[in-house]
Amino acid sequence: MEYAIQSPHGTLLGRKVLPSHKGLEITLERGELFKLQGDRPGRIVQVIEGRVWLTQSGQADIILDQGQTYRITGPELVLFEGLPAGRIRFISQSR
């Protein structure tokens, strides 16, 4: 999985990515964009605070509120942005 968080000024914000016992957590402030490329299909994204906009290549845009989840359907590019801020957690799907 490749990922990057960029501010409106293009700064990489690695401090916003935190591993936890429940999965990888990412905080997105106003204007920050999280780009996920080449992830495994089936991974679940959960909004644990705030509201988040996401779009996956070939899919419609989605807005998720706290507590809602989204299952990544393929390895295509997925973009996330806080509305105005949000925190997401990536949960690996057990097989």
The string of pLDDT tens digits covering residues 1-38 is 445 555 554 444 554 565 566 667 888 888 788 888 77
Q: What is the pLDDT of residues 45-83, one digit of tens each?
A: 999 999 999 998 888 899 999 999 999 888 888 889 999
Q: In the chain, how many domains are there?
A: 1
Instruction: Report CA-CA distances (Å) from 8 to 12, 33, 37, 59.
Output: 10, 8, 19, 24
Longest distance between any two alpha carbons in the chain, whole Å: 40
In this prediction, residue 68 carries a pLDDT of: 97
In this prediction, residue 16 carries a pLDDT of: 59
Give exposure, 33-71, as e/b (b: 16+ Cβ within 10 Å): ebebeebeeebebbbbbbbbbbebeeeeeeebeeeeebe
| Structural domain of 72 | 2-91
In this prediction, residue 59 carries a pLDDT of: 84
Tokens of 91: 């949960």
In this prediction, residue 29 carries a pLDDT of: 82
Phi, psi (degrees; rounded to nearest 5) at 88 = -120, 155
CATH of the domain at 39: 2.60.120.10
